[in-house]
Amino acid sequence: MKKPDLNIAMAQLNVKVGDLAGNQRLILDAIQEARNEHIDVLVFTELAVCGYPPEDLLFHQQFLDDCYNCVKQIADHTDGLVVILGFPRNHPNEPELLHNSAALIQDGEIKMIYDKQKLPNYLVFDEKRYFTSGSHDGIAELTINKQTYSIGVTICEDIWYEAEPVVYQAQQGVDLLINISASPYAAGKIESRIAMLQRRAKRFSTPLIYCNLVGGQDELIFDGTSCAIDAAGELKALAPSFDAAFTTINFSQPQTQITEPNSPLAELYDAVVSCTRDYFQKNGFTKAVLGLSGGIDSALTAVIAADAIGAENVTGVLMPSKYSSDHSVTDAQILADTLGLPSHVVPIKPMHQSFHKFLEPLFNEFYDDYFHRQTDENIQARIRGVLLMAFSNNSNAILLCTSNKSETSVGYTTLYGDMAGGFAPIKDLFKLQVYALAEYRNSIDPAGPVIPLNTITKPPSAELRPDQKDSDSLPEYEVLDEILKAYLHQHKDAAQIAKALNQDIELVIKVLKMIDRNEYKRQQAAPGPRVTQMAFGKDRRMPITNGFKHQQ
Amino acid sequence: MKKPDLNIAMAQLNVKVGDLAGNQRLILDAIQEARNEHIDVLVFTELAVCGYPPEDLLFHQQFLDDCYNCVKQIADHTDGLVVILGFPRNHPNEPELLHNSAALIQDGEIKMIYDKQKLPNYLVFDEKRYFTSGSHDGIAELTINKQTYSIGVTICEDIWYEAEPVVYQAQQGVDLLINISASPYAAGKIESRIAMLQRRAKRFSTPLIYCNLVGGQDELIFDGTSCAIDAAGELKALAPSFDAAFTTINFSQPQTQITEPNSPLAELYDAVVSCTRDYFQKNGFTKAVLGLSGGIDSALTAVIAADAIGAENVTGVLMPSKYSSDHSVTDAQILADTLGLPSHVVPIKPMHQSFHKFLEPLFNEFYDDYFHRQTDENIQARIRGVLLMAFSNNSNAILLCTSNKSETSVGYTTLYGDMAGGFAPIKDLFKLQVYALAEYRNSIDPAGPVIPLNTITKPPSAELRPDQKDSDSLPEYEVLDEILKAYLHQHKDAAQIAKALNQDIELVIKVLKMIDRNEYKRQQAAPGPRVTQMAFGKDRRMPITNGFKHQQ
C-alpha cells in the first residue's frame, strides 16, 4: 500500500456565493496557515473562489473574469506549496461553454486545470444548465520535496461513480486521489458519503483526500466533514461538520485527526442552526423577530434562532386573539423569559375588530353571504403578519417563519399570515421531527429545559377559532408524516401508500390532494434549511396547474 | 419538389398538465373531427397526453403508467388514420430512464416510437433533469391510400438545430418532416420561429409540418401558431396564436389556410390575456379581485382580467389612505364603471390607526427610535393585502397582483402588500410596456377608451406618503427599463451599461444593487405570464445570498 509522505491540509472554508474578495481573503488566510504548519499540499473545495452554487451569476462574463483574476492573485501566494482550488471558467477554445474546474497550482504556476466530468442535474442541482463536461484526465505529475508524485484530481460528483475519470486515475497508479466537493447535507448523508469514499479508496488501493464545502447558502447546508482515507479504506482524518476547519493529514505518519461524529439529532439540530446563522450573517442581518404562540413550532424556531444569532437579538412577539387560551400566552412568556428573548405582547383584537367592522357589512350586503370562518381565521393570521413585518421593518430584523414541513405540505398555513417571513428555520422538518428536536434541545441545556413541558405535551392547535385542534382537519401527525414521506420523498402512489401504512385509501387520497392543491402557497414560501433530499424549493419542482387524479 | 398528396391536420389543443382524462377527451374529439374531414395524417403536440411541462410528475411511476394507458386507449380510435402524439415513457430496457417521445399510430397500431434527441436545459427548460436522449432515427415508412410515404418525426428542440436527427432524415429523402412542439411564447419569437422553420424546409427541400402546443401553464404561454411549409420554404398553412385550432393542409392542393399575424402589441396583449384566462380556468376559478389605485398598473391588470374572465367576475376594491389624492379614487371609479366591474371603497385609515396605536408606543419605548417612514408605508400596503385577501377568501376569487417587471426588478414593492396575490398578469412587462399596452387596449375598444386618460398621463406614484412620486426613488422609466433589459436580459456589466446608455456609472450600479438585493422578494412573488426569454421565475435563477460586487 502506498503511503505518500506529504503534509496535506484540507481547508473547508465557509465561503459566500459571489463574494470574491471575501472568499479570496479566507483562502489567503488558509495559505498562511498552511505555510505556518509546513504543509505541502493544500486542498480547497469545489468552486471555492466563488461559492456554490453560483447559479445564474455564471451567465455574467464579468463574474467569470473576476473569478479567474482571483485564481491568478491567489496563485501569486503559493510559493513552496501545491494548492488545489475550484473555480468556474470559460472553455479556452469555445468561450460560450463553461467548465466547473479545479486549478492545481504549484509555486505560483497553474500546473493543471481539471474540468468536472460528471455534472449533477437532479434534485437541487442544475449543473447541465451551466457547465460542459471536461475531458482532461485530471492526473498531474509533481515534484514535492524532491520526490515525484502522481496525483489524480476530481470534483464532487465524479467520485460518486465507480467509473471514469476516477477508475482511469487509479489504473494509472496515482499516489493520491483528491476530490474537491460541494456536497450538500441531508439527514443520514454524511455517514453514507464517508462509507462510499471508504469503498472507493479500498477498491482502488489508493489514499483519498475529500475536501467538502461548509456553510449555509440560502436553503442549502454544506456540512464540510472533509476526510482522508488510506489505501486500506480506513478513515485517517475527519473534519468537523458545520464548521470551517483546517484539517491536516500525512498518510506516512501514525497520528490521526478525527472529530467524533454527532448523534443523528445533534447533527440535524446543528445543521439547521448553522444554516440559519449563515443566512443572517451572509445577508448582513444581526436581528430576528418572530411570533410566539406558545406552540411547539414557534418555540423550536425561537431556540434555533437564539442559538444561531444570540437570544438578545431575537425578539418574540406574543399576539393573542380572542381564541387564544391562557396557556398560550403563559407558555410563550415562559419560553421568552427562559431563553432571554426581548418580548412584547400585542393583542390583535382591536385590529381584528376594525377589519370586521368594514368588511362584514360589505360581505353581507354585496355577496348575500356570511363572513366565512376561514376568511376570519386568515384575517387574524394576516394581522399578525402585518404586525411582525412592522417589527421587522422598523428594527432591520428578519422575520422568521415558523411553518414546519407537515403543515406546509398540506397547506395548513396562511399565505401572508404565518407563512410571512424571510427565513423559515424548520421548513424541512416534519412535525414529529419538530418534537424530537425540541426534546433533544431541552435535554442538552445545562440550565435545564428551555421549551416549557406544556408546549411539548399539549395537543397542537392553530387557535384561530374556539377549541380548534390540528387533528380536526388533519390526521394525527404519526400518520400524516408517514403519508407525506411516502408521497413526497418516495413518489409512491395512493394505493401503495394506503397498503404500506394500512390506512384508508380515501384518507390517503385526501392528503395527496391537499398537497397538490397547495403548491401555489409553497411557491410563495420563505426559504429555509434543506435537511432532506426532497425539500420544497429546488428539489421538488411541481406545477401549480396540475390536473393529475390519484386513483383508488 | 415533393408534394405528398395527404390530407394533414395539425391539432393544437389547449391541454392541461396532468389532466390525462381531460386531455384524452380533447384528443378523441380531434380524431372525430379528422374523420369528418377525411384527414389522412393527424398531428398532435409534444407531450400532448400529459401537457407540458409535467415537471416532477414525471417521477411518479403511476403518472407514467397512466400516460401510456391513454396512448393505448387513443390508439384504439385510429382506424383509417395516422396519428402522431407526444407522451412520456420509460425506456423499454432501462426503466429508470425516461424519454420524451412521439408515438406514430396507424389503424390502431403503434408503428414507431421516436424519442427526442435534443433536450433543452436552459432558460425555463429542465429536460435533462427528466429525460434521456433517444437514438431512433424517427423515420417511418407508411402506406396511406395505397401510396408509400416516408415520414421523419422529430420533437421540438430537434428542429432548432441544422443537425441530427433532422439532417439524417432529409438525407434519407423523407417525403415529409413532422415536428411536434411545446415551444413557449416570448415577444418576437413567433416570427423568428417561423423564419427558422422556413429555412429548414427550404434547405432540405422537404415539406414540413410543425404542430405547437397552445395555452397557458402557470407562467408559460404556448402560442400554438402551428404551420405547414412547403419544400420551397413557403408558408402554406398557419394556425392562429393563443387559441386551440384544427388546421388542415394538403401540399398537393393549391388552397392554403393562413391566419393573419397580429401586430406586436396585439400579440403581446393576447398572450397575457390568454395566460391569465387559462390560469383561472385550469385551476377551477371563475372570479378575481384586485385593488384599484387609480394608477396605470392596476388599470391595465383590471382590463386584462376583464378580457380574460369577464368584467362581471372581476371585483375592484378602492382602498384610499390619507395620502391618496382625489384623482386616485376618481380615476379608479371611472375605470370600474367604464369596464363594468363590481367595486367597493374601503378606506384604510381606521385599520392604519389601530396598528399605529399599538405599535408606535412600543417602537418608541423599546427601540428608542421613531416609527420609520418605510415601516409606515409598508403597513398601509399590507393592510390592503389583508383586505384584498379577505375578499379573495370570502368569494373564492384569485387576488391579482398588479406589480410590473420594472418595480419587481428593483424591489419597489411591498412583500405581502401590493405583492400579495395568486397571479400577476403584468409581472413580465416593463413599465413602458404597461403604458403601451394600456394605449393599445384603449385604441381597440369600439366603445372608446376604457382606461382614463388621466391614469395614463399623470406621474406614477405609490401614494404612501405626501406628494410621493416613483421618480423620487427611481430613475425615469425611460432610463430604468433600458438598464434593466441590459442587465437582466443581456447580462451586461455595469460599465458596459453605463457606456451603452450614456448614463452615470454610479446610477447604474445603484440600480443593479437594488436588483440583486431584492431577490428575496421575487422568490416569494406570485406567478404571471412569461412574455420574455428572461422572466423572473424559472428563467432567472439567482441566489438570494449573493456577495457579488459590481465594478466601476
What is the spatial distance between Cα B186 and Cα B164, in angstroms, rounded to a whole number? 26
Max Cα-Cα span within chain A? 91
Supply the residues of A annotated as catalytic. Answer: 46, 116, 156
Q: Which residues of chain B lie closer than 8 angstroms to A359, CB-CB?
A: 346, 387, 390, 394
Residues of B in contact with A369 (CB under 8 A): 394-395
What pLDDT score does B366 carry? 61
Beta bridge partners of A9: A42, A248
| Residues of chain B found within 8 Å of residue A346, distances taken between Cβ atoms | 358-359, 362
Burial B77-114 (b: 16+ CB within 10 A, else e): bbeebbbbbbbbbbeeeeeeebbbbbbbbbeeeeebbb
* pLDDT score of B462: 81
CATH superfamily placement of domain B268-467: HUPs (3.40.50.620)
In the annotation, is B275 catalytic? no
Tell me which H or E stretch contains B67: helix B61-75
Return the pLDDT at B370. Answer: 67
> A55: which 3 cell numbers?
447559479
Task: Count Cα atoms within 13 angstroms, Cβ side, for A551.
Answer: 14
Quickly state the pLDDT bin for A233 (edges 50, 70, 90).
Answer: very high
Chain A residues near residue B395 by CB distance under 8 angstroms: 367, 369
List the one residue out of A267, A271, A221, A227 whose CA is nearest residue A247.
A227
Cell of B77: 380510435
| B358 with A350: Cβ contact below 8 A | yes
CATH of domain B8-260: 3.60.110.10
With an 8 Å Cβ cutoff, are B385 and A383 in contact? no
Give the pLDDT mean for A235-253. Answer: 97
Are A229 and A242 in contact, with CB atoms under 8 Å apart? no
Q: Is B32 on the interface with A (CB under 8 A)?
A: no
Greatest alpha-carbon span in chain B: 91
Q: How far is CA B290 from CA A70, B401, B425, in A?
A: 50, 7, 11
- Tell me the nearest-neighbour CA distance from B152 into chain A, angstroms: 28
Contacts of B283 in chain A (CB under 8 A): 544-545
Which pLDDT score is estimated for A460? Answer: 86
Q: Would an 8 Å CB–CB cutoff place A373 in contact with chain B?
A: no
- Residues with Cβ within 8 Å of B413's Cβ and at least 6 positions away in sequence, in order, are B403, B407, B419, B521
B360 touches A: beta carbon within 8 Å: no
Residues of chain B in contact with residue A358, where contact means CB-CB under 8 angstroms, are 346, 350-351, 387
* Per-residue cell: A290: 418572530
Task: Say if A394 is an interface residue toward chain B (CB within 8 Å).
Answer: yes
Do A548 and B21 count as a contact with CB atoms less than 8 A apart?
A: no
pTM of the shown model: 0.97
Residues A86, A100 contacting (CB under 8 angstroms): yes
The DSSP bridge pattern shows strands B287-291 and B397-399 to be parallel
Burial track B448-467 (b if 16+ CB lie within 10 A, e otherwise) = ebbbbeebbebebbbbbbee
3-state secondary structure of B208: strand
pLDDT at A234 over 80: yes
For B494, which residue in chain A has the nearest alpha carbon? Answer: A62
What does the pLDDT profile of chain B (552 residues) look like in tens digits?
A: 568 999 999 999 999 999 999 999 999 999 999 999 999 999 999 999 999 999 999 999 999 999 999 999 999 999 999 999 999 999 999 999 999 999 999 999 999 999 999 999 999 999 999 999 999 999 999 999 999 999 999 999 999 999 999 999 999 999 999 999 999 999 999 999 999 999 999 999 999 999 999 999 999 999 999 999 999 999 999 999 999 999 999 999 987 788 888 899 999 999 999 999 999 999 999 999 999 999 999 999 999 999 999 999 999 999 999 888 888 899 999 999 999 999 999 999 999 999 999 998 888 766 556 678 889 999 999 999 999 999 999 999 999 999 999 999 999 999 999 999 999 999 999 999 999 999 999 999 888 999 999 999 988 888 888 888 888 888 999 999 999 999 999 999 999 999 999 999 999 999 999 999 999 999 999 999 999 999 999 999 999 999 999 988
- Nearest chain A Cα to B399, which residue? A415
Mean pLDDT of A423-448: 96
- Residue A40 makes CB contacts below 8 A (sequence gap 6+) with A6, A7, A8, A81, A82, A144, A145
DSSP of B120-182, one letter per residue?
--STT--HHHHB-------EEEEEETTEEEEEEEEEGGGGGSSSTTHHHHHHTT-SEEEEEE-
Any A CB within 8 A of B552 CB: no
- CB atoms B389 and A367 under 8 Å: no
Q: Cβ contact (<8 Å) for A18 and B527?
A: no
Cα–chain-centroid distance for residue B61?
28
CA distance A456 to chain B (A): 30
Task: Flag if B54 and A545 touch (Cβ within 8 Å).
Answer: no
Q: What is the CATH number of domain A268-522?
A: 3.40.50.620
| Rounded CA separation B137/A524 (Å) | 43
Which three-class secondary structure string do you get for A429-461? CCHHHHHHHHHHHHHHCCCCCCCCHHHHHCCCC
Residues of B with Cβ-Cβ distance to A128 under 8 angstroms:
121, 128
Is residue A370's pLDDT more than 80? no
Beta bridge partners of A131: A98
| Residue to substitute from A16, A133, A393, A517, interface B, most B β-carbons within 10 A | A393
Q: Active-site residue among B16, B46, B70, B377?
A: B46
User: Which residues on chain A are in Cβ contact (under 8 Å) with B55?
Assistant: 541-543
Interface of B with A in 104-163 (CB under 8 A): 121-122, 126, 128-129
Topology adopted by domain A8-261: Nitrilase/N-carbamoyl-D-aminoacid amidohydrolase (3.60.110)
- Picking from A513, A28, A218, the residue whose alpha carbon sits closest to that of residue B520 is A218
Q: Which of B548, B549, B550, B552 to mutate to test the interface with A (most CBs of A within 10 A)?
A: B548
Annotated catalytic residue, options B156, B211, B227, B401: B156
The mean pLDDT of A143-168, rounded to a whole number, is 96
B244 in reach of chain A (CB within 8 A): no
Nearest to A125 by CA among B219, B95, B121, B526: B121
| Closest-CA residue to A496 (of A514, A482, A481) | A482
Residue A357 sits at the chain B interface (C-beta within 8 Å): yes
Q: In whole angstroms, what is the distance from residue B63 CA to residue B86 CA?
A: 15
CB-nearest to A379 from B22, B278, B386 is B386
What angle do the packed helices B477-484 and B494-501 form, to 10 degrees? 140
Please tell me the distance from the alpha carbon of residue A371 to that of residue A28, in angstroms, as a whole number.
64
Nearest CA to A383 out of A426, A324, A455, A451 is that of A324
Domain boundaries, chain A: 8-261, 268-522
C-beta neighbour count of A276 within 10 angstroms: 27
Burial bucket for residue A495 (CB in 10 Å: 0-12, 13-18, 19+): middle
- Using a CB-CB cut-off of 8 Å, the residues of chain A touching B372 are 393-394
CA torsion B67→B69→B70→B75, rounded to 10°?
130
What's the confidence (pLDDT) of residue B332? 97
A105-119 per-position pLDDT tens digit? 999 999 999 999 999
Asked if the model's pLDDT at residue A144 lies above 70, the reply is yes
Contact residues, chain B, for A546 at CB < 8 Å: 17-18, 57
Angle in degrees, CA A388, A393, A394, rounded to 5: 95
Rounded CA separation B191/B399 (Å) = 34
Q: How far is A545 from chain B (nearest CA, A)?
A: 6
CB atoms within 10 A of CB A99: 24
Task: Say if the ipTM goes beyond 0.90.
Answer: yes
User: Is the pLDDT confidence value at A399 over 80?
Assistant: yes
pLDDT at B2: 62
- How close is the nearest chain A Cα to the Cα of B182, in Å? 16
Q: How far is A342 from chain B (nearest CA, A)?
A: 9
A:280-319 residues touching chain B, CB 8 A cutoff: 282-283
Answer whether A351 sits within 8 Å of B346, measured CB to CB. Answer: no
- Tell which of B393, B401, B497 to mutate to test the A interface (max A CBs under 10 Å): B393
Q: Does A366 touch chain B (CB under 8 A)?
A: yes
pLDDT of A301 strictly over 70: yes
| Cβ-based neighbour number of residue B72 at 10 Å | 12
Q: What is the pLDDT of residues A516-541, one digit of tens each?
A: 999 999 999 999 999 999 999 999 99
If contacts are CB pairs under 8 Å, which of residues 464-493 in chain B contact chain A?
Answer: 491, 493
**How many angstroms from the chain centroid is the CA of residue B43?**
23
* Nearest residue of chain B to residue A526 (CA atoms): B524
The question of whether B287 is a catalytic residue gets the answer no
